Structure formats: structure tokens, C-alpha cells
Amino acid sequence: MTSSRKPDLLLINPGNRSQVYQTLGRSLAAIEPPVWIGIMAGFARNKGFSIEILDANAEGLGPDETARRVSEINPLLAAVIVYGHQPSASTQNMPAASAACSAIKQRTPEMKILLAGGHVAALPERTLRDENADFVCDGECLYTLTDLIEALKSDRPGDLGKVRGLWYRNNGVIDSNPPAPLVKNLDEGIPAMAWDLLPMNRYRAHNWHCFGHLKREPYAALYTTLGCPYRCSFCCIHAPFKSGEKLSGNREDVNTYRYWSPQWVITQIDLLVSRYGVRNIKIADEMFVLNEKHVEGICDLIIGRGYDLNLWAYARVDTLRKGLCEKMKRAGMNWLAFGIEAGSSRVRDDVQKGFVQEDIFKAMREVNATGIHVIGNYIFGLPEDDLRSMQETLDLATELNCEFANFYCTMAYPGSDLYRQALKEGWPLPKTWGGYSQHSEDMLPLPTKYLSSAEVVRFRDRAFQTYFKNPEYLEMIRRKFGPETETHIREMASHTLTRKFA
């Protein structure tokens, strides 16, 4: 979507699904709307700036075509935003972001480029040093964006020094400014997502989200909160918020957790349903099922509308309350994803995942009793893992027999405590940012105290096949969702990933 007027800001979502997901990217992987870009566009537009969005990932654009489109639009500022399906996906999108920046600069050398996102906020100086961009943002970037547009419009010497949260080159030397604050009142600061600037007809839900009918479009995702109060050592969600939290006087060990009001959320859902015909919606919050009043407020408004939605969200096994699952199901919550992570309490405790085995079974019983389906998320190769404990994790997954499961390897994502520990201890890390993708050919997870990276990869890929080819699992899928979904699962499990380090 372009106009004759030169926009102040073009927000770019780079992407290369084939590099990140191999053959899974063609039809199985979801195509997510770039929620953070929608938030940034809504914030900047609320400040009076003209905004456009180029979702190169959704449109299947390579670097050269992306650069051509950027040149045609000719914005005052081109912002390449590096986020993904979840916080850990930011780093794996860096190769696409890097290629887009280089192609833009080659085609339009005078174009001003800003890089922002979770990975960038974790490593701002390195990003500016390594990438073909003029500016880098070290926080959540909302105020940085609008400050930078004002500075570029004024074109006065020294104005870049006033842009909060900005890293840039000053006479060839890397310089940085004091951090920008976090947006405190989300309803006022971001009164709406910029859905109208996104190619809403191109987004595709996760395959499991639509088991039973497999109609994956149209699809949308939105946040109802920002942040997470927990401190799992393998998680990098806090990277974009830390500089703003420090400015507010927060202790390093305290994480903010901000809310949009239920009324704001229902306004977004009203628009998605009425204008775009969306029924499949992901609640993208890192931890949605946490504040009962917030969750119930949203569910009550959805129930009052009488919408027939197909929702999913993240929860923890120790945050469910009696009766809450029933209300979520009435609102259309058909799936909840739980970070179970490991079958060994020794392994879980080592990464600050503070719940016991009985909590897991109790939560699964309560969720299943309401008709809500479960995605179990498991991690192989946590620091205390050995072959026996990883087998315990697979055994737990098989016993729980959730309607879907994600099997990950432990990765030291930039911005996480594990990344900082890996640098300190000299642990091997991927040589390219693409190597941080769980499904890429050159994925290299952390070794454990007892196992090599290759042993972890081999176990993970074998566990995937074991789980999804298990006759008891396939029988459950056929019973709950029908033979078409069972056939889909069999086809999914037929894909094998090529690995360099296995």
C-alpha cells in the first residue's frame, strides 16, 4: 500500500521462511502478522506521522525485491524490525534483516536505515558494527522511532544526540544516547494496531491451531500484555525492556508486566472479526494466563459478543485457577501452550522453572476436562540434561499425550541469562545468526554438562518422530479431530530436517 506522499516511516518485516524452516516453511509453518510492527505503526501514527508497512516475509519478497519496493516508497526512514513468532525467533531472522539492509543500501545508498527488535536490543553495539544500517535501537523502540523521525526532519546538527535509545556513528565513532522510557499507559500510547497497513489476506495460522478443519486463513495475532515477570534462564523476552526499566528505577531482577485494558482488546477483536473476517487468533503474550482479572475481563467481553472464535495462548502449569479454564473455553480458547520443558525436576529447577511434576498432571487434567487442547513445549539439552533425563522428558511427553507438542533444543539466545553464561564459560555458539533457528540446517544448540551439541540434536529429531508416529497419539488425533487431521500429521512427520551438526 503506497501513496503519492513520501511517508515519514516505512516499517519492514524481513523474512526467509525456507532458510528458517527448510521444507516446513512452504506449507506447514505459520505466517504470522508482525505484531510488533503493528504496535510501532499504531504508536507512531498516533503521534501524527505518516506510516507504511512492507511485510516482505508475508509477501515472499527476497532482498532485491524488498530493496526495489523500499526505493519506490522512498520513506524518510526505513526501519527493519527483527522480531518473530516468539522472542527467541528474533535472532533467527537476523540473516534476512541483514540481507535486506545491504540490498537497500546498494540500491539506494542515501536511504536512512534503522534496525530494531529483540536481538538488536540485546546486542546494539555489535549490530551497528556488523550490519549495513545507520541506526540501531537498544529498547522497545517506540519513543526512539518518533524521536528519530523528528531529528531527521529537522536536519539540525546535534539532533541525533537527543534521540533516546539510539546507537549511531558520530564522525565514524559508534556513539549511543541515554535510554528511552517504556510506554506506561498502553491504551493511550497505542490506541490501535495498524491492521489496515498489513496484508491481512496473507497470514496463516499454525497447523495444529486448526486441527479438525485445517482452514488456516484468515488469521491474526495480538498482544494484550507486554513483558513477563518470570526469569527463566533460557528466555530472552526481557531484552527490549531492560533499558527502559532501568530508566524507571527498577532493580535488575524485576521485570515489568504491562496491560492493555480488556476494552482495548475487544476493540481490536471487533475490527478483526467485522472487517477482516478473522476467526483464528493467537494471543501473543509471553504469558497470557497470569492475571485472572485481566483474563476474565477479556473473556467476558468476547462471550458477550457471541463470537465464534478459535483462540490460543500461552499459560504456565502453576497459574491456572479453578473455573478460569471453563470461562476461557466459552470465549473460544481452544488451545493453551504450556512450557513443561523437562521431565526431570532436577533439570527444571536448574533453569528456574519452579513447579513440581504433580502440578503438570493436575493442570493438564483441568484443561482437558474443559475441552481445551494442549500444546506441550519441551526442551532437550538444558544444562543438567543427560541421555537419561532427556528420555524422561520424552517419556513425560508420551504419557501426557497432548494434542500437539513442540520439541526444542536449548539455545543460548542473545538477551538471555544462558547467552551471558555461555560467553563467560566459553561454550560453543552458532557461527551465524541463522544457526539459532530450531529448524535450520546449521542449527547448533548448547552442549550440556554431559552431552555434545550433536547428541542433543540427534535426540531431539528422533523424539519428534517418536512422538508424532506413536500409534496412541495418532489414535487420539483421529478420535478427536478426524482422519483428515491424522493424515496431515503423518504427512508432517514425513519431513526430515537436514542437519550439519548431528
Q: Can you tell me the distance from the alpha carbon of 167 to that of 181, in angstroms, rounded to the nearest whole number?
A: 15
Q: Which domains does the chain have, with CATH numbers?
A: 9-176 (3.40.50.280), 202-410+445-493 (3.80.30.20)
Q: How do beta strands 166-170 and 173-176 pair?
A: antiparallel
| Below-50 pLDDT ranges, the chain | 1-3, 18, 20-25
Determine the pLDDT at residue 502: 65
Cβ-Cβ contacts under 8 Å for 425 (sequence gap 6 or more): none
pLDDT digits (tens, 9 = 90+) for 251-277: 877 888 999 999 999 999 999 999 999
pLDDT digits (tens, 9 = 90+) for 90-138: 898 999 999 999 999 999 999 999 999 999 999 999 999 999 999 999 9
| Distances in whole angstroms, Cα of residue 195 to Cα of each of 138, 183, 217, 276 | 26, 20, 15, 9
| Distances in whole angstroms, Cα of residue 164 to Cα of each of 75, 79, 143, 182, 463 | 21, 16, 7, 11, 46
- Cell numbers placing 428: 560453543
Q: Where are the alpha helices (DSSP H) in 173-308?
A: 186-189, 242-247, 262-276, 292-305
* Phi/psi of residue 175, nearest 5 degrees: -130, 160
Determine the pLDDT at residue 246: 87
Burial class (CB in 10 A: 0-12, 13-18, 19+), 384: middle
Determine the pLDDT at residue 47: 94
Element of type H or E holding 65: helix 63-73
Q: Can you tell me the distance from the alpha carbon of 376 to that of 160, in angstroms, rounded to the nearest whole number?
A: 46
Determine the pLDDT at residue 200: 96
Determine the pLDDT at residue 48: 95
CB 17 within 8 A of CB 440: no
Determine the pLDDT at residue 489: 94
